[in-house]
Chain A
Amino acid sequence: MDDNVILLVEDNPDDEALTLRALKKNNIGNHVVVARDGSEALDYMFGTGNYSGRDPNLLPQVILLDLKLPKIDGLEVLRQLRADHRTKLAPVVILTSSNEEQDRFKGYDLGANSYVRKPVDFNQFIDAVRQLGLYWLIFNERPPARRR
């Protein structure tokens, strides 16, 4: 079901593999769509390009957004998502290795819901993903679907 999609925006194949593994380890069975750069992520969200035909109003359950992406970087993706009324409400969790103050500031300033730092220690990473999953997929109430 499209409704329970997790959109993972990550360019690094290692990080992608580890994240998927962490999700599996936590028995999170949602369908994960992986976008490998900013433009692919936007294509998916707006139903353009390779994903033309997809309805932009169907928002994923959560978007895990890395910041350092080729072509269009994470903050720009966030800006465009927040600028479009169809995708404005999508929950975005910035998941990045950077802990620079300026990134955190810009992320929150552009309307990210959360900012999580990817730990190097894989066990910690698994734990972080578990907590993220617990929160965003179970506890958090999703925004209601738009009434046309």
Chain B
Amino acid sequence: MLVSGAALLLACGAFIGYDLFSFRQAVLNNLSIQAQIAGSNAVSALLFDDQNSAEKTLSALRVSPAIISAGILTPEGRPFAAYSRDKDDQIQILPRLAAGQTETHRFGDSEVLLVQSIVFQGKPIGIVYIRSGLDVLYARLRLYLGISAIVLAVSLLAALLISPIFQRQISRPIAQLAEIAQLVSRDKNYSVRAAESNSRDEVSVLVEAFNSMLSQIQERDQALRKAHDELEQRVQERTTELDNINKELEAFSYSVSHDLRAPLRAIDGFSQALLEDFGEKLDSMGQDHLHRVRLAAQRMSALIDDLLNLSRVTRSEIHRETLDLSAVVRATADELQRGAPSRNVNFVITDGLKVNGDSRLLRVAIENLLGNAWKYTSGHSCARIEFGLYQSNGRPAYFVRDDGAGFDPRYSQRLFGAFQRLHASSEFPGTGIGLATVQRIVRRHGGEIWAEGEVEKGATFYFTL
């Protein structure tokens, strides 16, 4: 309302102002023409110094009611003839005409004075002036002001009357839309809708579009929720599946550990019985066959044990805690030495190396690594087994080094395979599961293991955790 009112005011003002200005120009023009006519009519009177004739000419100006007075002067400025509408004339101080200027005017309050030079054959022979009242102008101004005031009032009234209609049609629906949009984004409630109107205009189109957009969002939101729920459910199912599989695996290893051993025991036992009871009836080849049967059975038993251990390592949970790895190494070394006190082995162990890991699994890993070092140095009369910390590219790595049989580095990638061996069982007993177990343990701690070695020059196993 304010804006439209101000706009109207400005428009009216501009219009009035322009009109007044052009009216003023018109008045001046009119006066000028009248002055010229009067001037040219008075030429002969001036030339023949006929004051009466000049006054008669001037009195013709009576027809124009706005003209208050007029006069003709000699070029020197002496009054020659005068006319006055109201019979009370004051002597005018006329503005002087500058050289070369034929006309000038001056606006006083409520009157305008025009001075013009009368020229005959190129020579100024007199000055004519006309004083005109601006009453008409002011009357016009007042009229205009009145009209514009009325127009303003009427239109403001009309606007006041019409605006509620527009509000209802346009701004209220839009305000409502804005409110609903805010509500939706704040509360995430996609089920609200804007009230629709029956009209077929742009606003109702907007409202319809808004509502359909909300419906889409609601659909999407519901679909998303459903998908999320389905996903949750599927994850749940998978987890249950995995749990079940793990339990099955446990049960499987359990029965393996029990049921497979019994027949093995029978094979070994009765072969031995055969040897003992009927050995003399067999020749050396027969006895050798039975030996092989027994050895095979025992080896199978060792394999079963190792496989079970390996699967147990992979399945079990890791309970991380701070652990003194050096102490574990020292304890294992002591145990090995106790098991074969005659062996001369020099253990060089770096103390105080603490790690964060599962104590049970790490003990198994150390037992395997040290056990290997112990085993593969058994051929030497004296051996050196070392455990320490090694900085590799800024990451600390632990190592176990021995100076025993070593291995051929060309086959190093087979070192960690399950049941893979680089030596014959006749040289060094074992199933080849030890390093595979250590690798599993190290990997479960997020680390890596690698080895360096040379034949008969010992081996070093590095691992990170």
Contact = CB atoms under 8 A, between A and B. Distances in A.
Nearest to B258: A98
Nearest to A117: B261
Contact of B266 (A15, A68, A96, A99): A15
Interface residues of A, number: 19
A120 interface: yes
Given A97-B258, A98-B257, A18 B298 contact: no
B234 interface: no
A120 B270 contact: no
A123 B270 CA distance: 11
Given A21-B273, A123-B272, A118 B265 contact: yes
B140 to A, nearest CB: 117
Contacts of A97: 257-258, 261-262, 265
B262 A122 contact: no
B8 interface: no
A14 B269 contact: yes
Contact of A122 (B257, B258, B259, B265): B265
A126 to B, nearest CB: 8
A20 B257 CA distance: 24
Given A14-B262, A21-B273, A121 B257 contact: no
Given A120-B261, A120-B264, A120-B297, A18 B254 contact: no
Contacts of B301: 120-121
Contacts of B259: 68
A99 to B, nearest CB: 7
B270 A121 contact: no
A37 B342 CA distance: 48
B169 to A, nearest CB: 81
B268 interface: yes
Nearest to A101: B312
A141 interface: no
A14 B266 contact: yes
Nearest to B300: A120
A52 interface: no
A93 to B, nearest CB: 17
Interface in A1-38: 12, 14-15, 17-18, 21
A21 B261 CA distance: 19
Interface in B286-314: 294, 297-298, 301
Given A18-B270, A21-B273, A121-B298, A100 B257 contact: yes
Contacts of B254: 98, 100
Contacts of B262: 12, 14-15, 97
Interface in A105-126: 118-123, 125
Nearest to A120: B301
A122 B261 contact: no
B420 to A, nearest CB: 24
B287 to A, nearest CB: 15
B257 A99 contact: yes
Interface string B239-280: 000000000000000100111011111101111110000000
A68 B255 CA distance: 10
A100 to B, nearest CB: 6
A17 B265 CA distance: 11
A75 B263 CA distance: 22
A104 to B, nearest CB: 12
Nearest to A97: B261
B265 A14 contact: yes
B258 to A, nearest CB: 4
Given A121-B298, A122-B265, A14 B257 contact: no
B258 A68 contact: yes
A64 B265 CA distance: 17
A36 B337 CA distance: 44
Contacts of A120: 261, 264-265, 268, 297-298, 301
Contacts of B297: 120
A118 B263 CA distance: 12
Contacts of A122: 265, 268-269, 271-273, 294
A70 to B, nearest CB: 13
Contacts of A119: 265
Given A120-B297, A121-B298, A122-B272, A18 B257 contact: no
A14 B399 CA distance: 47
B102 to A, nearest CB: 132
B335 to A, nearest CB: 19
Contacts of B273: 18, 21, 122
Nearest to B261: A97
Interface of A: 12, 14-15, 17-18, 21, 68, 96-100, 118-123, 125
Given A18-B266, A120-B301, A121-B298, 14 more contacts: A12-B262, A14-B262, A14-B265, A15-B262, A17-B269, A18-B265, A68-B258, A98-B254, A98-B257, A100-B258, A118-B261, A120-B297, A121-B301, A122-B273
The 7 A-B residue pairs with the shortest CB-CB distance, nearest first, are: A14-B266, A120-B301, A122-B269, A18-B269, A97-B261, A122-B272, A98-B258
Interface of B: 254, 257-259, 261-266, 268-273, 294, 297-298, 301
18 contacts: A14-B265, A14-B269, A18-B265, A18-B269, A21-B269, A97-B258, A97-B262, A98-B254, A99-B257, A100-B257, A119-B265, A120-B261, A120-B264, A120-B265, A120-B297, A121-B301, A122-B272, A122-B294
